[in-house]
Structure 1
């Protein structure tokens, strides 16, 4: 225990990042307090990854069981398939409550002091917490900020939580409106379009940029559009900005040309999900007391997760992890950053390797990726003087996918032509979110496709889609 402080480490925010940091700090022998203003588990457990995956699991089963053609090819015939919206919503809520309880109990078991209230920095190594019972002050040798993010609502859009809402409200699945507009075609928009169409809703997907799924690798976006959007009850509008959205019955959406900002169309729909990304929670944290200026709301940090002052110098004993630093807005990235920050607090130098952190969209089938897209890799190659190549392999040639009758999909491997070093892997297909981990581990080791081509994969499994891609890449790299 550090002399003269209440705690060795105080963490503001008990989401996945803060929770992971607290557990790691205890294992390193530190006395820890964690301060949370809302629900334990933060966005991921309460309003994000967990409830949305529960809804995707249930709605995905409904989609599968209603796919008479697919079942018939497997020799299965069913009568009508019904579902209970309330029961599906309860399934998600039950899982959230269980996981929130597990998180809280794990901290209590480890003797982490959990303080409920809004924490802010009062001065270096001092935090004030506004609790139900008034203000409380604690001191800590080190402070980690992990306040997370909230959905971004663009100007001109009015939210009422019922007819116009963000993912925070969508995960509650309080209703299934017949016609829903979804603003944005990133992973949140895609996942909810999957849930809603499986449960019988019609979708209009609106993307301000001139192509759908702009953050995904172009080849994956093209195939995903063909499988996840074209055959489903989804109308798409690209290059259009939702300039104004008025809640009500109906919801009125003014769509403007993205370039000219002129209104070109007015839509009337039953409901609208605003899935336009997320913004950091960095206001009212007392950052000004220690001379920190946010950049577009993000707290600037260095590679060790130390918070930087306005002049760019690290501030002693102050760290920021997760969505609030904007490095990579993913739950598992926050967790990795929390562990790295604690390691650095304990005097063991540690940085996070973002290139090897995978991401996934849990659509049916799934999309996953790690490393760079092909355009990004080519840009780097141009700057550093190396050539980039890519190969594709397809699920339709995979024995396991054929046996499952789920042959939509491909894996794309991007690598350096000279050394064969793996730069990026993108997968669209059955269990893509699980398959990507092998590629993430390979990138973490900076493996070459020439080595990966000789790794043995279980037969018959979906992992052979990657095996095939590595072999093709190695063959191409060797000039075969």
Structure 2
């Protein structure tokens, strides 16, 4: 006999487990199905453990430059095994925390491989054999995985995806990073700080191509200064594994193909949704494997919902979590809960963060996108070198850029590069959600001395009122 629930969530990543918790909070009998680890890729192999690695690299960088702060530190060495062990410990702690949250919220966990047999039914093959589950609603939150190069699939030895890069069998002496999105640049930054000779190959004409062009240009200059070899507008023609590493054929901007040797390569060319072989084909609309949804997570099949990286982008953990809450509240509303008031997700208000060195953060339109959309814009740009806290921290590299509608004063976008900007961006994100204008931001009092003062100065600068530059 099939076990029956109000809601079953397929996948326990940051979208799935949050959706399950919110469903339970709303009084719905909820189950979650997970084939590998509670917490999904983000907690176990993505967002969190990578930040632990990057933190170790950051501390190592500061120790190597202790003299800049009037300190002496000698014989500084990195222990890669210990760095990785710390990262895995962080991941384990958080994954265990998810198990506690499931128990606390009385969510039934089914460990095993789930496959839909209809919009609101599925089977789970796991430790208990094959289980049949039914529900009034099913939320698909199966996430995504790294995309392979067709001519050089990852082997976990010389050619890595992010999973191997997080638990490396050895330190790369000469590393090729293919792709300069957030994942590629974060690993390039980590291994460069740890002492690897790093080359980044990007097919498009600039690094982190989704970011504002000024941010891309600043990052490239900074990474080159740190010793990285940056190749933009460059294609990878071939990658062959050898006894000592990999041989890469690289086509430059001038059309010439050169051959170079590396000890290891990391493939970071995007993601592929985990939507194959789980029964979706005949149930709903798909586009290149991504499940098509409305702003609340509904698919074309009644009772079937989808959230997170298996749906259209941006493919970010916090977007998945927000979608999970939205879908849960929409389901509760459909089931008669008058206290549930779901709000459609505005994708223009989703911040993006890249934890390289220097950090990058943004929300809303770039200057170019705003102009393409027909806006007349006012742009403010304030450098870190004009901020007292940044200078005191020894982090005077970077800037904050704001883009406004010249006619209405609406904040269209904000773009940052520099120390701790991944923490600062939320100020502008709240502002965008509240539909703020330059007037409110100018009248806001920012504490001193803080990095956040640069946010104020950038707004003032857009209107010719900056005080410290």
TM-score, with normalisation over the residues of structure 1?
0.92
Greater than 6 Å deviation, 4+ residue runs = none
Which aligned pairs between 1:65-144 and structure 2 lie closer than 5 A?
65-67=63-65, 71-144=66-139
In the alignment, is the contact (CA less than 8 A) between 1:121 and 1:289 conserved in 2? no
Paired residues in the alignment total 457
* Distance in 2 between residues matched to 1:128 and 1:181, nearest whole Å: 42
2:337 corresponds to which residue? Answer: none
- Is 2:423 aligned against 1:437? no
- In 2, are the aligned partners of 1:183 and 1:205 still within 8 Å (CA)? yes
Of 22, 25, 28 in structure 1, the residue corresponding to residue 26 of structure 2 is 28
- Provide the rounded CA distance (Å) in 1 between the counterparts of 2:119 and 2:61: 54
3-state DSSP of counterpart to 2:403: strand
Deviations 1:98-144 (A, max 9, x none): 11100111101211010011111101311111223422111100000
Residues 1:278 and 2:264 are matched in the alignment = no
Unaligned runs of 5+ in 1: 309-314
What's the counterpart of residue 304 of structure 1? 296
- Indicate the residue corresponding to 2:343 in structure 1: 350
> Which residue of the partner structure matches residue 387 of structure 2?
398
In structure 1, C-alpha distance between the alignment counterparts of 2:198 and 2:313, rounded to whole Å: 32
Aligned-residue offset at 1:186: 1.2
> 1:454 — aligned with what?
443
CA contact (8 A) 1:142 1:318 kept: yes
- Cα distance in 2, alignment partners of residues 46 and 343 from structure 1: 27
Deviation at 1:389, TM superposition (A): 2.0
Deviation at 1:169, TM superposition (A): 1.1
- C-alpha distance in 2 between matches for 1:399 and 1:178: 38
Which residue is equivalent to 1:226?
Answer: 221
8 A contact 1:341–1:350 mirrored in 2:
no
Superposed, 1:238-317 pairs within 5 Å as: 238-248=232-242, 249-256=244-251, 264-290=257-283, 292-308=284-300, 315-317=301-303
- Specify the alignment match of 2:338 in structure 1: none
Q: How far apart in 2 are the matches of 1:210 and 1:393?
A: 25
> Is the CA contact (8 Å cut-off) linking 1:255 and 1:265 kept in structure 2?
yes
1:231-254 deviation line (CA, Å, top 9, x unaligned): 123112222222322223221222
Q: 2:224·2:230 contact (CA, 8 Å) conserved in 1? A: no
Partner of 2:336: none
State the partner residue of 1:202. 197
Secondary structure class of the residue paired with 2:303: strand
Q: CA deviation at 1:50?
A: 0.9
- Match of 2:281, SS state, is helix
Q: CA-atom RMSD, angstroms? A: 1.7
Cα distance in 2 for partners of 1:21, 1:258 equals 46
Q: Is the 8 A contact 2:13 2:41 kept in 1?
A: yes
Contact 2:233 2:253 in 1 (8 A): yes
Q: CA deviation at 1:358?
A: 0.9
Give the equivalent residue in structure 1 for 2:41: 43
- Report the CA distance between 1:33 and its aligned residue: 0.4
What's the CA shift for 1:355?
A: 1.4
Measured after TM superposition, the shift of residue 323 of structure 1 is 0.5
Report deviation, 1:190: 1.2
Q: Secondary structure at the match of 2:291?
A: coil
